[in-house]
Chain A
Amino acid sequence: GDSVTQMEGPVTLSEEAFLTINCTYTATGYPSLFWYVQYPGEGLQLLLKATKADDKGSNKGFEATYRKETTSFHLEKGSVQVSDSAVYFCALKGYGGSQGNLIFGKGTKLSVKP
């Protein structure tokens, strides 16, 4: 079935460092891909998405490009801030066995130190 694999955390960075969180997927056909963020004490929020190959999603300085050839959707940010500390989830929405529902990775906890 469809699945998402993302890099294990936690990830600890200093402020202004470059961030990459790796995400790869297995899916039938051409799923849509998402990054969600969960700040402490809050619900999941959609950070960005891409619905077809080579699309780039971006929001709040974060970017991710849908790479069909490598089945990847890595999250990047050029300069992280303390306020970016959160748990980040990669997810897909497929059209096969998952019936269009979101399938999440395990999450990667990011801590940014001043």
Chain B
Amino acid sequence: EAGVAQSPRYKIIEKRQSVAFWCNPISGHATLYWYQQILGQGPKLLIQFQNNGVVDDSQLPKDRFSAERLKGVDSTLKIQPAKLEDSAVYLCASSPGTGVDNEQFFGPGTRLTVL
């Protein structure tokens, strides 16, 4: 079974530029998550989708971050414009559902460096 795919794996941009990350979840997984992991910290949830609807985006900085999952499958996360403090690893995860027995499977992440 293929895991969660993310691209690119690495990205370096200058502040005020825009950037987009892509995630393809495990086939059949209804729930998709984007996390931000700053160096030395644990992952922090940015947004959660159930199929193509947003369940929780309370920690997403909506003035610069946006995300979509138009067909309920793959998803993109965009930052525009980027700030220095956005340097982090962006993790995508998917799960069959949201209950406690639904394990979240994580992709390898995209490491973003903002100069």
Co-complex (A, B): yes
Question: Hey, which bits of chain A sit against chain B, CB under 8 A?
Answer: 4, 32, 41-46, 51, 89, 91, 93, 99-107
Among B44, B56, B103, contact of A99 (Cβ-Cβ < 8 Å): B56
Contact across chains for B91 and A44 when beta carbons are under 8 A apart: yes
Question: Hey, which bits of chain B sit against chain A, CB under 8 A?
Answer: 3-4, 33, 40-45, 48, 55-56, 91, 93, 98-101, 103-104, 106-109
What CA separation (Å) do A107 and B89 show in the bound complex? Answer: 14
Q: Is the interface of B mostly helix, strand, loop or mixed?
A: loop
Residues of A within 8 A of B3 (CB): 43
Contact across chains for B100 and A51 when beta carbons are under 8 A apart: yes
Q: How many A-B residue pairs have CB under 8 A?
A: 47
What CA separation (Å) do A111 and B43 show in the bound complex? Answer: 21
Are A93 and B100 CB-contacts (below 8 A) given A42-B108, A43-B107, A99-B56? yes
Are A43 and B91 CB-contacts (below 8 A) given A91-B42, A106-B40? yes
Are A89 and B42 CB-contacts (below 8 A) given A43-B106, A44-B91, A51-B100? yes
What CA separation (Å) do A54 and B43 show in the bound complex? Answer: 27
Among A42, A43, A106, contact of B42 (Cβ-Cβ < 8 Å): A106
Residues of B within 8 A of A101 (CB): 33, 45, 48, 56
Are A104 and B109 CB-contacts (below 8 A) given A46-B103, A51-B100, A99-B56? no
